[in-house]
Amino acid sequence: MNTYSPDTVVPGAGARVQEASEIVASNLNKTYGAGPFAKTVIKDCSFTIESNKLTVMIGPSGCGKSTLIQLIAGFESADSGQLTMNGEPIVGPGKDRLVLFQESALFPWMTTYDNIMYGPRARGEGLKEAAEQAEFLLAKVGLEAFRDKYPTQLSGGMQRRAELARAMINKPEVMILDEPFRGLDNMSKELMWEYYATLYEEDRNTNFFVTTDIDEAIFLADRLLIMTNLPTSTRTVIDIDIPRPRKIEDLVHNPRANEIKKEVMTLLHEEAMKSFSGGSKAAADFLDAYSKRAG
Amino acid sequence: MKQGRFIGKLFSRATLRGLFAIAVFILIWEVGARSEQWLGFRMPYLGLIPPPTDVAASWAGLIGDPSYWQSWYMSFLRVFGGFLAAMAIGIPLGLFMAVNKTFYGIYFPTFEIMRPIPPLAWVPASIIFWPTQELSIAFVTFLGAFYTIVINVLGGARSINKQYLQAAQSMGASQWDIFRRIVLPATLPSIVVGSAVGMGITWEVVVAAEMISGGGSSGGGAGGGLGFFIWSSYVGGSYEQIIVGMISIGIAGYFSSELLRQLGGFFTPWLKTR
């Protein structure tokens, strides 16, 4: 395991002074259903989302990552274990922890501008200031020309940017992103990585990003949590010590990036194999033999 | 510019196709109805009905007759009265059933047992139940739209994408705000669909109710509505007028649906962008 600490982040090094906002999960358990239908999704899962860092969680698809997000966001609660933010237990949803969902959750009946303004309007606070902020964010995500368009009139990448703006206007302490760039084509995806990384580097808020894409994980992360197959727990934590700002080429040319990528691939492959074989020894043996021949 | 576009639309291919189809339909009808004198034999079915030219002549005579327009007016009044009542009660009821599990549990079984009862089966009971004929017709009309609206609103409000609700919650929205700005607009398309379907049923029901009940309070003639207009034409042996009445209902139904479509489009502008 790598213990190198990334480019020492001074809180407030960015545009805005951030208070510490750390989320700690310890020994979380979550089982759905009961009796013969019971399915344990999360088992003895512990990890820390460190303050003012971009923590990426990667794991085989179908492991309990989305469930963990439901817990952290406060939409559901764990069966046992502790989940705290800044030492306080998380009991319900709140605007200090904003979630960007897998598929676009922009409200289809609102224009881009109204979508961005939803949070401040719903809370009825600082509307004048929020309106200015909305203009600023529209410009920042490059959607001024699309302010009066409905979500269906935007491309996939624009929708994701509009959603980022909608989240950022609420100034959340922690931003939670659940595979936000899934389904975008490769080019838009890489552009979104660069774009999102720039946004992050500007104010270094606490970000928690869930993905199944290794390149995405390495390109974005300060800290990388690698999860096990179902039931989910933390397998390893890797600090990604590639200096920022990073470039897409780094994924190919940077030797450190390649080293990390190999390590992550090996770990994830093991986990994915468990998932694929679904406990069948024969299937696991087959996969193992196959991977040796192919490798 | 605007006028040019309007004329362009008026003579667009789709419009011309529609007009052509109507013309062919009328032509076949005319030839069929006059087959005995024109072709020397009576075409089955078509040979028994009055030809469109006679219908048109009969219609021309009715255009100046206030009692004919009174029939329109009465049917419209009943349709919109029943329909608006169905919306006013059905939409909140559907929404409430969707958001409140307890109420859903209490009311839905009763609702589902009542729903399959055809509105027309209610006619005798409602004549007994309501003090005036007018109210019983309006009530049956109301039932025609009511169930469809409730079922659509309920279905629409229950199938809202969970992520919309969670997104709103995590941005700190109150329950009331979520209802007003998420649940309601998300359900609007279903409300529009339910209303459009309900409106169609309303016209079906009002005509039958008018026929059965003898045209409402005025007891016939002037106050009877289009359904009674057809019935009394039949009883009086004026077959042309039966068809005038039928076409009148078709036109009235078309305008009602078009009105709803326009209103629906006005309230759900985001759907046009799909």
Residue A67 and residue A42 in contact, taking contact as beta carbons nearer than 8 Å:
yes
Residue B70 and residue B222 in contact, taking contact as beta carbons nearer than 8 Å:
yes
Q: Tell me how crowded residue A65 is: count the other CB atoms within 10 A of its CB.
A: 23
Query: How many Å apart are CA A23 and CA A85, to the nearest integer?
Result: 4
Q: Tell me how crowded residue A224 is: count the other CB atoms within 10 A of its CB.
A: 25
Contacts of B173 in chain A (CB under 8 A): 118-119, 122-123
B164-181 in b/e form (b: 16+ CB < 10 A) is bbbbbbbbbbeeebbeeb
Residue B227 and residue B210 in contact, taking contact as beta carbons nearer than 8 Å:
yes
3-state secondary structure at position B160? coil
Q: In what order do the strands lie in the sheet with A54-58?
A: A97-100, A174-178, A206-211, A54-58, A223-227, A234-239
A139 touches chain B (CB under 8 A): no
Query: How many Å apart are CA A215 and CA A219, to the nearest integer?
Result: 6
Instruction: Measure in Å the smallest separation between the Cα of A256 and chain B Cα atoms.
Output: 37
User: Do B186 and A109 lie within an 8 Å CB cutoff?
Assistant: yes
Q: Tell me how crowded residue A113 is: count the other CB atoms within 10 A of its CB.
A: 21
Write the residue in A73, A103, A150 that is nearest to B170 by C-beta. A73
What local confidence, expressed as pLDDT, does residue A218 receive? 85
Query: How many Å apart are CA A89 and CA A109, to the nearest integer?
Result: 35
Helices A156-168 and A186-203: angle between axes, nearest 10 degrees: 20
Tens-binned pLDDT, residue by residue, of chain B (274 aa) = 455 566 666 778 888 898 999 999 999 999 988 888 888 888 888 888 888 998 999 888 888 888 888 888 888 998 999 999 999 999 999 999 998 889 999 999 999 999 999 988 888 888 888 888 888 888 999 999 999 999 999 999 988 888 898 888 888 888 888 999 999 999 999 999 889 889 988 998 888 888 877 655 544 444 578 888 888 888 888 888 999 999 999 999 989 988 998 899 899 888 886 6
Residue B69 and residue B222 in contact, taking contact as beta carbons nearer than 8 Å:
no
A93 touches chain B (CB under 8 A): yes
pLDDT, tens digit (0-9, with 9 covering 90-100), for A137-177: 888 888 888 889 998 888 888 888 888 888 888 888 888 88
> Among B52, B231, B69, B181, which Cα is nearest to A122's?
B181
User: Do A150 and B182 lie within an 8 Å CB cutoff?
Assistant: no
User: Do B274 and A122 lie within an 8 Å CB cutoff?
Assistant: no
Non-local (6+) Cβ contacts of A79 within 8 A are A29, A30, A31
CATH architecture, domain A23-96+172-253: 3-Layer(aba) Sandwich (3.40)
Mutate to test the interface with B, among A85, A117, A118 (most CBs of B within 10 A): A118
B273 touches chain A (CB under 8 A): yes
Q: What is the DSSP letter of B74?
A: H
Quote the tokens at residue B201.
Answer: 């049923």
pLDDT, tens digit (0-9, with 9 covering 90-100), for A177-209: 888 888 778 888 888 888 888 888 888 888 899
Contacts of B269 in chain A (CB under 8 A): 150
Quote the tokens at residue B64.
Answer: 């100046």
A105 touches chain B (CB under 8 A): yes
> Among B125, B57, B78, which Cα is nearest to B227's?
B78
Instruction: Measure in Å the smallest separation between the Cα of A71 and chain B Cα atoms.
Output: 12
A73 touches chain B (CB under 8 A): yes
Q: Percentage of chain A surpassing pLDDT 90?
A: 3
Mutate to test the interface with A, among B165, B166, B170 (most CBs of A within 10 A): B170
Chain A residue at shortest CA distance from B169:
A93
How does residue A5 score in pLDDT terms, banded at 50, 70 and 90?
very low
Domain limits of chain A? 23-96+172-253, 108-170
Helix, strand, coil % in chain A, rounded to nearest 5:
40, 20, 40
User: Do B171 and A123 lie within an 8 Å CB cutoff?
Assistant: yes
What local confidence, expressed as pLDDT, does residue A16 receive? 45
Write the residue in A94, A99, A119 that is nearest to B166 by C-beta. A99
B159 touches chain A (CB under 8 A): no
User: Do B163 and A103 lie within an 8 Å CB cutoff?
Assistant: yes
Helices (H), chain A: 65-73, 112-116, 118-123, 127-140, 156-168, 186-203, 214-220, 250-253, 255-277, 281-294
Query: How many Å apart are CA A218 and CA A38, to the nearest integer?
Result: 35
Instruction: Measure in Å the smallest separation between the Cα of A54 and chain B Cα atoms.
Output: 20
* Side chain identity, residue B151: I
Rg over alpha carbons for chain B, rounded to the nearest Å, is 23
Mutate to test the interface with B, among A109, A110, A112, A114 (most CBs of B within 10 A): A109
What local confidence, expressed as pLDDT, does residue A282 receive? 64
Instruction: Measure in Å the smallest separation between the Cα of A189 and chain B Cα atoms.
Output: 22
Write the residue in B167, B185, B274 that is nearest to A101 by C-beta. B167
Q: In what order do the strands lie in the sheet with A23-32?
A: A39-49, A23-32, A80-85, A88-89
The chain-wide mean pLDDT, for chain A, equals 79
Say whether the peptide bond before residue A231 is cis (omega within 30 degrees of 0).
yes
Is the per-residue pLDDT at A3 higher than 80?
no
Residue A57 and residue A65 in contact, taking contact as beta carbons nearer than 8 Å:
yes
What local confidence, expressed as pLDDT, does residue B219 receive? 45
Chain B residue at shortest CA distance from A175:
B170
Is the per-residue pLDDT at A288 higher than 80?
no
Instruction: Measure in Å the smallest separation between the Cα of A122 and chain B Cα atoms.
Output: 5
pLDDT, tens digit (0-9, with 9 covering 90-100), for A76-118: 887 887 888 887 888 888 878 888 887 778 899 999 999 999 9
Hey, what's the torsion of the CAs at B180, B184, B185, B189, to 10 degrees? Answer: -170
Select the more confidently predicted residue: A287 or B193.
Answer: B193
